Amino acid sequence: MSAVNIRDTGRNSAKTGDVRGLASRVETTNPTQQVTTLQEVKVTTGTIAVTDDTNTIVTIAQPAGTILTDLIAYPAGNIVTAGSSGNDLDISIGTASAGAQLLAATALLDDGGAAVTWTANVPLNIISNASGKAANQFATTGIGPKGGPATTEAIVIAAALYSAAARNIFVTLRPIGADLATAATTVTYIARFQEL
């Protein structure tokens, strides 16, 4: 790339050849490029069930022609498991109420013999960039945010997150093994959908 030589002529102008040289190096964007739209849906549960094997379900409307790129959840108060191995808080995501078509039941709080806490107002990116997570990704000592659960099972997406038609997605939280120690709170979900 050669330098453009603009001489001061005493007039507020440049030589024609210099302007042409500069114009040939200016990048333009293609006006026919399609801009995709990101849509966000926010929904909050009622007070989540603390009782063993009881579902708390929210419904999220997915627009037609979109892919679920991100699902973020955060509780209004602390959620704590009972403290014995197997006393988990499971999450599943389905296209039917209490279903698991998109994510099989997975321990979001994986109690291996010590109580696991999800601290109030700590967001967990359950799905990021249309992908799941490795085990323990929310641990403070790992990649996760300060106050995330210390132990979590791997989040493995089970089916396509894209839908050509509008549909409902159902997110279920379910304590298993024992009642939760603390959970008289709500959970808010933020779902982001990208048009394709």
**Domains of the chain, with CATH numbers?**
38-195 (2.60.120)
Element (H, E) at 163: strand 162-163
- Return the bridge partners of 111, or none: none
**pLDDT tens readout for residues 91-137:** 999 999 999 999 999 999 999 999 999 999 999 999 999 999 999 99
User: Which pLDDT does position 6 carry in this prediction?
Assistant: 47
Least confident of 4-8, 137-141, 142-146, 153-157: 4-8
How is residue 83 written in tokens?
Answer: 């403290």
Cβ–Cβ under 8 Å, residues 155 and 111: no
pTM summary value: 0.80
- Return the bridge partners of 16, or none: none
**pLDDT tens readout for residues 15-56:** 656 545 544 554 445 555 555 688 999 999 999 999 999 999
Amino acid at 81: T
| Structure letter (DSSP) for residue 154 | -
Amino acid at 4: V
Confidence of residue 145 (pLDDT cuts 50, 70, 90): confident
Cβ–Cβ under 8 Å, residues 118 and 149: yes
